[in-house]
C-alpha cells in the first residue's frame, strides 16, 4: 500500500469531501466495493483467485489514510490488491516516496501509475490509482520477474489492463 500526505486535489469525480483536517476524506469513497462489485467474469479473465484464506486487504495507515478492499493472485502470474482509499490522485503525485511512472485517463477518470522511489526493481511492482469522488480506487500489483506467465511484462502495464476492466464498473458520480 502506498501512503502519502498533502492536500486533496481536483481529481475526484463529483462534489466535495469532508476532510479529517489532514487533507484526506474521513472515509473511503462509497458506492463501489472491490470485494463485491468486481464480477467473477472479470477476475476469471485475469485468472485471479483469492490470494489466501482471507483475501481482505483492509488497512488503516497514518494520518487517517484508509484502504478497503480485497486481494487476489493468478497462478504463475501477478498478485493484486484492489482497494478504495481516501487518498487522491494528486496526493499520490505529491508523495516524495513514490516515483510516478505514467499517467492515464481510464473511462474519463484520471489515473496515475507509481512505484516506491526506493524500490530496487520498480518494474516488478506498481500501484495504479484511479480518481473517485472523495478518494480513489487503487490497484497494487506485485509481479516478480520469476513469475513464469507475466514476469517479463511491466507490472504497470498489467495494472492498467486490469484497471481498464474494473473501472467501467464504478457507477457514474462515484
| Per-residue pLDDT tens digits for 132-165 | 999 999 999 999 999 999 999 999 999 999 999 9
Residues whose CB is less than 8 angstroms from the CB of residue 146 and which lie 6 or more positions away in sequence, other chains included: none
Q: DSSP code of 161?
A: H
Beta bridge partners of 138: 83, 129
Cα separation, 150 vs 143, whole angstroms = 7
Given a contact cutoff of 8 angstroms between Cβ atoms, the answer to whether 99 and 117 are in contact is yes
Q: Which residues of 115-148 are buried (b: 16+ CB within 10 A; e: fewer)?
A: beeeeeebbbbbbbbbbbbbbbbbbbbebeeebe
128/116: higher pLDDT: 128
| Per-residue pLDDT tens digits for 62-119 | 999 999 999 999 999 999 999 999 999 999 999 988 999 999 999 999 999 999 877 7
Residue 5: pLDDT band (50, 70, 90) is very low
| Per-residue pLDDT tens digits for 161-174 | 999 999 999 999 99
Average pLDDT over residues 29-41: 96
User: C-alpha cell of 56?
Assistant: 481482505
% of the chain at pLDDT higher than 70: 87
The pTM assigned to this predicted structure is 0.85
10/74: higher pLDDT: 74
Residue 129: pLDDT band (50, 70, 90) is very high
Given a contact cutoff of 8 angstroms between Cβ atoms, the answer to whether 165 and 146 are in contact is no
Q: Could you give the count of Cα atoms lying within 13 Å of 158 in the half-sphere of its Cβ?
A: 30
Given a contact cutoff of 8 angstroms between Cβ atoms, the answer to whether 38 and 169 are in contact is yes
Given a contact cutoff of 8 angstroms between Cβ atoms, the answer to whether 59 and 71 are in contact is no
Amino acid at each position: 500500500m502506498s501512503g502519502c500526505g498533502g492536500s486533496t486535489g481536483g481529481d475526484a469525480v463529483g462534489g466535495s469531501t469532508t476532510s479529517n483536517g489532514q487533507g484526506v476524506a474521513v472515509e473511503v469513497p462509497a458506492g463501489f466495493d472491490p470485494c463485491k462489485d468486481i464480477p467473477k467474469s472479470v477476475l476469471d479473465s485475469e485468472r485471479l483467485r483469492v490470494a489466501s484464506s482471507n483475501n481482505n486487504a483492509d488497512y488503516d495507515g497514518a494520518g487517517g489514510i484508509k484502504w478497503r478492499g480485497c486481494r487476489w493472485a493468478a497462478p504463475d502470474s501477478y498478485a493484486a490488491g484492489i482497494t478504495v482509499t481516501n487518498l487522491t490522485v494528486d496526493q499520490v503525485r505529491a508523495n516524495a516516496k513514490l516515483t510516478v511512472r505514467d499517467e492515464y485517463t481510464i473511462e474519463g477518470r484520471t489515473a496515475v501509475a507509481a512505484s516506491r522511489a526506493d524500490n530496487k526493481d520498480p518494474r516488478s511492482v506498481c500501484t495504479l490509482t484511479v480518481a473517485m469522488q472523495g478518494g480513489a480506487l487503487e490497484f497494487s500489483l506485485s509481479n516478480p520477474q520469476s513469475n513464469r506467465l507475466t514476469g517479463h511484462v511491466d507490472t504497470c502495464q498489467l495494472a492498467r489492463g486490469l484497471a481498464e476492466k474494473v473501472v467501467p464498473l464504478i457507477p457514474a458520480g462515484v
